[in-house]
Amino acid sequence: MQTFTTISEIRAWRKENPRVAFVPTMGNLHAGHLQLVREAKKRADKVIVSIFVNPTQFGVNEDFSTYPRTETRDCELLENEDCDAVFLPTVETIYSSNAQTTVSVSEISQNFCGASRAGHFDGVATVVCKLFNIVQPDVALFGLKDFQQFAVIQTMVRDLHLPVELVGVPTVRESDGLAMSSRNGYLTENERKIAPQLYKTLQNARENLATQTISDVEKSAISELENVGFVVDYFNVARRCDLKLVTENDDDLIILAAAKLGKTRLIDNL
Return the active site residues. Answer: 33
**Residue 72 parent element (H or E):** helix 71-80
Distance CA 19, CA 8 (A): 18
In degrees, rounded to 5, the angle at the alpha carbon of residue 170 between the alpha carbons of residues 173 and 253 is 110
Return the HEC string of the chain: CEEECCHHHHHHHHHCCCCEEEEEECCCCCHHHHHHHHHHHCCCCEEEEEECCCHHHCCCCCCCCCCCCCHHHHHHHHHHCCCCEEECCCHHHHCCCCCCCCCCCCCCCCCCHHHHCCCHHHHHHHHHHHHHHHHCCCEEEEECCCHHHHHHHHHHHHHCCCCCEEEEECCCECCCCCECCHHHHHCCHHHHHHCCHHHHHHHHHHHHCCCCCHHHHHHHHHHHHHHCCCEEEEEEEEECCCCCCCCCCCCCEEEEEEEEECCEEEEEEC
Cβ atoms of 48 and 20 closer than 8 Å: yes
Question: Which amino acid is it at 49?
Answer: V
